[in-house]
């Protein structure tokens, strides 16, 4: 085990995430400007596509990190049957769910039941398909709808907050099913689908367009919230949530409702890009 990997097990994840939560919202100009400038330079962030291209004009680091893009910076694929990438980032893995098992990395699998925290909810995806997108610090950190859907339920599943960087995904068993996450269940035109927002070390903060900040507070036990009867319907490509810092999005689709493109690990994707076909 490398030292970097060992740190994933021994660092005080929650304490660090709480410190980062407040540090990234501190408006003290020298501090926030140093943080923002460090990310822009070290990760080659493309500020030209941001609605506010002046990186140092943001009130604090988190406002910069969750920045809006120009209206013309991203477009949904013109085909109304296209399954869209929910985020900017890179494909971690994508493919078939086999007997409820989802491929994480070489020799690593986790189950849909573990990921969703519910055996009944996982049943439609037993032989379905999945797409996992990793968002790095340089990426746009808002998450959009891969398909049109009506929100049915959210489930806040407590857990660890390991890094979701490629080195950790390759080495930590069942990582996505162990990290704190927000599971969003939707009903679409061709059946149900799920968008899972997976937290990570220094990152475990998620806000949705329907509820605002959801994580933190951190959950001591699984928390469910039903939206049945509220008719919260989001169009394909509409913004649905954001990571306050970056992490990973997992989309699950039932068998027979979609066909994925030939997506490859580490392939770059953009919000609205076609990653498959629905129906």
pLDDT, one tens digit per residue, over 196-209 is 999 887 665 789 99
Instruction: Spot the catalytic one: 85, 92, 129, 247.
Output: 247
Q: What are residue 126's phi and psi, to 5 degrees?
A: -55, -40
| Cβ 203 vs Cβ 245: under 8 Å | yes
Q: How many CB atoms lie within 10 A of CB 220?
A: 7
Mean pLDDT value of segment 236-250: 89
Which spans in 124-197 are helix H? Answer: 166-171, 175-178
Average pLDDT score over the chain: 93
Q: pLDDT class for 25, splitting at 50, 70, 90?
A: very high
Largest CA distance in the chain: 54
Give the list of residues 6+ apart from residue 146 with CB closer than 8 angstroms, or none: 83, 84, 85, 86, 131, 193, 195, 236, 251, 275
In angstroms, the first-to-last Cα distance of the chain is 44
Structure confidence at residue 82 (pLDDT): 97
Question: Cβ distance 206 to 243 under 8 Å?
Answer: yes
180, 164 Cβ separation under 8 angstroms: no
Please tell me which residue in 88, 129, 185, 258 is annotated as part of the active site: 88
257 closest CA partner among 276, 235, 273: 276
Confidence class of residue 217 from pLDDT cuts 50, 70 and 90?
low
Express as a percent the part of the chain with pLDDT over 70: 97
Q: Residue 177: what pLDDT?
A: 94
Q: How confident is the model at residue 118, as a pLDDT?
A: 94
Residue 184 has pLDDT above 70, yes or no: yes
Which of 45-54, 154-163, 187-196, 266-275 bottoms out in mean pLDDT, i.e. has the lowest? 154-163
Average pLDDT over residues 135-141: 93
Q: Please say if 204 is a catalytic residue.
A: no
Would residue 88 show up in a list of annotated catalytic residues for this protein?
A: yes
Q: Which residues contact 7 (CB under 8 A, 6 or more apart)?
A: none
**165 vs 231: which has the higher pLDDT:** 231
Across residues 92-111, what is the average pLDDT?
A: 96
Q: Which of 17-31, 40-54, 236-250 has maximum average pLDDT?
A: 40-54
Distance CA(167)–CA(46), nearest Å, equals 25
Q: How confident is the model at residue 246 (pLDDT cuts 50, 70, 90)?
A: low
Give pLDDT, residue 206.
Answer: 87
Q: How far apart are CA 64 and CA 45, in angstroms?
A: 11
Chain mean position to CA 221: 21
Q: Which position among 144, 156, 163, 258 bears the catalytic label?
A: 144
For residues 31-37, give the mean pLDDT.
97
Query: 163: buried, middle or exposed (CB in 10 Å: 19+, 13-18, 0-12)?
Result: buried
Statement: the pTM of the whole predicted model exceeds 0.75:
yes
Q: Distance between CA 158 and CA 156 in Å, rounded?
A: 6
Answer yes or no: 118 catalytic: no
Calculate the alpha carbon distances from 229 to 5, 207, 244 in Å. Answer: 45, 22, 29
Residue 3, pLDDT score: 79
């Amino acid at each position: 085990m490398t030292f970097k990997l060992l740190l994933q097990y021994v660092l005080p994840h929650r304490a660090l995430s709480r410190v980062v939560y407040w540090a990234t919202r501190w408006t003290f100009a020298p501090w926030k400007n140093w943080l923002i400038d460090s990310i822009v330079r070290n990760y080659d962030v493309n500020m030209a596509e941001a609605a506010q291209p002046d990186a140092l004009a943001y009130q604090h680091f988190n406002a910069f990190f969750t920045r809006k893009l120009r209206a013309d910076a991203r477009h949904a694929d013109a085909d109304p049957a296209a399954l869209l990438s929910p985020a900017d980032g890179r494909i971690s893995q994508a493919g078939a769910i086999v007997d409820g098992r989802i491929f994480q990395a070489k020799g690593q699998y986790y189950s849909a039941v573990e990921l969703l925290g519910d055996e009944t909810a996982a049943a439609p995806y037993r032989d379905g398909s999945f797409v996992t997108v990793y968002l790095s610090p340089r990426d746009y950190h808002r998450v959009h709808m891969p398909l049109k859907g009506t929100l049915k339920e959210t489930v806040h599943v407590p857990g660890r907050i390991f890094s979701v960087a490629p080195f950790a995904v390759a080495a930590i068993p069942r990582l996505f099913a162990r990290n704190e996450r927000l599971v969003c269940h939707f009903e679409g035109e061709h059946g149900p689908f799920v968008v899972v927002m997976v937290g990570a070390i220094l990152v475990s903060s998620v806000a949705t367009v329907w509820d605002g900040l959801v994580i933190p507070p951190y959950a001591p036990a699984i928390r469910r919230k039903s939206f049945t009867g509220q008719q919260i319907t989001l169009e394909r490509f509409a913004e649905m949530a954001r990571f306050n810092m970056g992490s990973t999005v997992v989309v699950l689709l039932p068998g027979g409702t979609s066909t994925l493109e030939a997506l490859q690990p580490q392939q770059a994707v953009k919000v609205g890009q076609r990653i498959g076909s629905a129906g």
